Amino acid sequence: MGVWIDSELCNGCKRCLKACPYDAVAMRGDKAVILEHCTACGACIEACRQDAVKTDVVAREIPDFSDHRGVWVLAEAQGGELNPVSLELLGEAQELARTLGQKVGVILPGWDIAGLAPTLARFGAAKICLAEDKALATYRVEIYTEIVAELVAEYKPDILLIGATSRGRELAPRLARRLKAGLTADCTMLEIDPDEKILLQTRPAFGGNVMATIASRYSRPQMATVRPGVMQPCECEGSQAEIINHLVKVPETPAVAAAKVLEVVREAKRKVRLNEAKVIVAGGRGTGGEMGFKLIEKLAEGFGGEVAGTRIAVEEGWVPVERQVGQTGQAVRPELYIACGISGAVQHRAGMQDSRYIIAINKDPGAPIFSVADWGIVGDLHQIIPEMLTQMAL
Ligand SMILES: Cc1cc2nc3c(=O)[nH]c(=O)nc-3n(C[C@H](O)[C@H](O)[C@H](O)COP(=O)(O)OP(=O)(O)OC[C@H]3O[C@@H](n4cnc5c(N)ncnc54)[C@H](O)[C@@H]3O)c2cc1C
């Protein structure tokens, strides 16, 4: 039946009408009635002062999760090196764990990884579970899913943070499915609800026009992915960690047996690590094309920095996709970000507004990029950048 109104008790005050987010309450004469498309969200029940809104929907019970403890990070390593996002997540995990009065744990699957444990401890891990096996030397999602799911089931974290790298984006949904846990992708803010002590996971939604806060009340671990460059690493002095060497048993499932890695061929091109750059010079549609991007490159070279671009610049083929900054690109926070011919759409700002200093060059004085810029130069970038290069050469 869902939700209905006891017309004997209804005094026609219309509070329920105003409270309903779905327009599912109407007036019939001087009495309120619930319409067919009611979702039984309960907003009208809370609003009614006459106790006239009735329901037979039973509130879902929150299971007892007291055996789930700790804020854990799924760390990522390749070729004996940690992905910097793992340390950024540890910084955030320390904050969350402090609020909850819990400890920070790390799961690190891979091969030749034992030497990375001291770094993980220095950046805040109190417990490090190393899952080391030659079969994990080359990342394969089927094997990693099985092994990480097994470890999560064993250590029962309250929260599990994963980098939104290409590996993390592939692994996290599979883990969530396997663990029957909720997962929020691409979070930009994480905090603990002071009353419920649950993780509030905030991320842009509807093309970045709203920020949605999501909570996983009914399952554990509470899983979130966070893009590189969003959180800050935090080193702690003299920290020691408990290290657990987990005995890895490579699963023999049909999915694992279905493929075999014969050879790993690495692309010769230089690895783009925009999130480690101190200076980034970014170009947008206003550069006008490849010629304009030559200026961007020269300016970046002058600063010893990296070149980046907006999604438009990527779509036009002026800059490769791995250099896209923004909501669907990389989040960066360099010391200096120079935005040239970029309007500053919310999706672009989401990836660069935490830069220490921002200079914007745009011929439109009303461009939104100026709202986040420390210095704004209104003018044509084809005149301004050559002038900057001349001044730098002096
Ligand atoms: C779901 C979704 C995700 C998205 N993700 C991203 C993302 O990750 N990154 C991203 O960047 N965008 C993203 N976008 C696209 C975003 O909404 C904008 O369309 C894009 O950022 C605009 O790029 P732009 O600033 O280069 O171009 P425009 O908005 O066209 O701006 C060009 C600017 O250049 C200025 N200009 C023109 N000529 C000159 C000149 N000669 N000198 C100086 N200034 C000049 C103009 O005044 C204008 O302000 C996303 C959109 C959606 C819907």
Has residue 265 been placed in a domain? no
Strand partners, 216: none
Task: Grade residue 1 by pLDDT with cuts at 50, 70 and 90.
Answer: low
Asked whether residue 119 falls in the same domain as residue 192, the answer is yes
Helix, strand, coil % in the chain, rounded to nearest 5: 30, 25, 45
Q: Which two tokens stand for residue 30?
A: 């001087």
What pLDDT is recorded for position 271?
Answer: 66
Q: What is the CATH number of the domain that holds 358?
A: 3.40.50.1220
Mean predicted lDDT score pLDDT of the chain = 93
Has residue 197 been placed in a domain? yes
**Which ligand 1 atom lies nearest to the CA of residue 292?**
41
What pLDDT digit, counting tens, does each position of 308-362 carry? 999 999 989 999 988 999 988 889 999 999 999 999 999 999 999 999 999 999 9
Asked whether residue 37 falls in the same domain as residue 85, the answer is no
Q: What is the CATH number of the domain that holds 84?
A: 3.40.50.620
* Chain centroid offset of residue 77 CA: 19
What pLDDT is recorded for position 252?
Answer: 85
Q: How far apart are CA 269 and CA 74, in angstroms?
A: 27
Asked whether residue 116 falls in the same domain as residue 51, the answer is no
Q: How far away, in angstroms, is 310 Cα from ligand 1 center?
A: 6
Has residue 266 been placed in a domain? no
Q: Which two tokens stand for residue 198?
A: 């649950």
The CB density around residue 253, as the number of other CB atoms within 10 Å, is 12
Q: How far away, in angstroms, is 232 Cα from ligand 1 center?
A: 27
At residue 303, the 3 state secondary structure works out as: helix
Asked whether residue 75 falls in the same domain as residue 99, the answer is yes
Q: How far away, in angstroms, is 313 Cα from ligand 1 center?
A: 8
Has residue 66 been placed in a domain? no
What stretch of H or E contains 361? strand 357-362
**Which ligand 1 atom lies nearest to the CA of residue 309?**
11
Asked whether residue 142 falls in the same domain as residue 227, the answer is yes
Strand partners, 222: 159
SS3 assignment for 86-143:
HHHHHHHHHHHHHHHCCCEEEEEEECCCHHHHHHHHHCCCCEEEEEECHHHCCCCHHH
Count the domains in the chain.
3
Half-sphere exposure of residue 295: CA atoms within 13 angstroms, side-chain side? 24
Has residue 259 been placed in a domain? no
What pLDDT digit, counting tens, does each position of 271-311 carry? 677 888 999 999 999 999 999 999 999 999 999 999 999 99
Q: How far away, in angstroms, is 178 Cα from ligand 1 center?
A: 39
What pLDDT is recorded for position 268?
Answer: 63
Residue of the nearest CA to atom 48 in ligand 1? Answer: 343
Q: What is the CATH number of the domain that holds 48?
A: 3.30.70.20
Has residue 82 been placed in a domain? yes
Asked whether residue 241 falls in the same domain as residue 299, the answer is no
At residue 55, the 3 state secondary structure works out as: strand
221: preceding bond cis by omega (within 30 degrees): yes
Asked whether residue 366 falls in the same domain as residue 282, the answer is yes
| Choice from 209, 293, 347 to test ligand 1 binding pocket (greatest atom count within 8 A of CB) | 347
Q: How far apart are CA 353 and CA 343, in angstroms?
A: 13
Has residue 336 been placed in a domain? yes
The C-alpha angle with vertex 351 and arms to 349 and 353, in degrees rounded to 5, equals 55
Q: How far away, in angstroms, is 64 Cα from ligand 1 center?
A: 48
Asked whether residue 111 falls in the same domain as residue 159, the answer is yes
Which residues are CB-neighbours of 177 under 8 A, at least 6 positions away?
none
- 53-55 vs 3-5, strand pairing mode: antiparallel
Task: Grade residue 375 by pLDDT with cuts at 50, 70 and 90.
Answer: very high
Asked whether residue 78 falls in the same domain as residue 208, the answer is yes
Q: Which of 11, 29, 55 is the last residue of a domain?
A: 55
Q: How far away, in angstroms, is 348 Cα from ligand 1 center?
A: 7
What pLDDT is recorded for position 270?
Answer: 62
Which residues are CB-neighbours of 305 under 8 A, at least 6 positions away?
277, 278, 279, 280, 281, 334, 336
Which domain range does residue 7 map to? 3-55
What pLDDT digit, counting tens, does each position of 198-214 carry? 999 999 887 667 889 99
The closest alpha carbon to 88, from 245, 273, 339, 322, belongs to 273
Task: Grade residue 74 by pLDDT with cuts at 50, 70 and 90.
Answer: very high
Asked whether residue 373 falls in the same domain as residue 230, the answer is no
Cβ atoms 251, 143 nearer than 8 A:
yes
| Choice from 293, 295, 310, 318 to test ligand 1 binding pocket (greatest atom count within 8 A of CB) | 310
CA distances from 384 to 341, 350, 374 (A): 11, 26, 17
Asked whether residue 246 falls in the same domain as residue 285, the answer is no
Strand partners, 377: 361
The closest alpha carbon to 244, from 109, 127, 77, belongs to 127
CA distances from 174 to 73, 109, 147, 167 (A): 16, 16, 12, 11
Q: For residues 130-140, give the mean pLDDT.
A: 92
Asked whether residue 238 falls in the same domain as residue 285, the answer is no
Q: For residues 150-161, give the mean pLDDT.
A: 97
Has residue 229 been placed in a domain? yes
Q: Which of 254, 289, 320 is the last residue of a domain?
A: 254
pLDDT at 266 > cutoff 70: yes
Could you list the beta-strand ranges (E) of 193-267: 199-205, 210-214, 222-226, 242-246
Q: Which of 220, 254, 288 is the last residue of a domain?
A: 254
Prediction pTM value: 0.69
> Which residues are near ligand 1 (CB < 6 Å)?
207, 284-286, 310-313, 324, 326-329, 341-343, 345, 347-348, 351, 361-364, 367, 380-382
What pLDDT digit, counting tens, does each position of 91-114 carry? 999 999 999 999 999 999 999 999
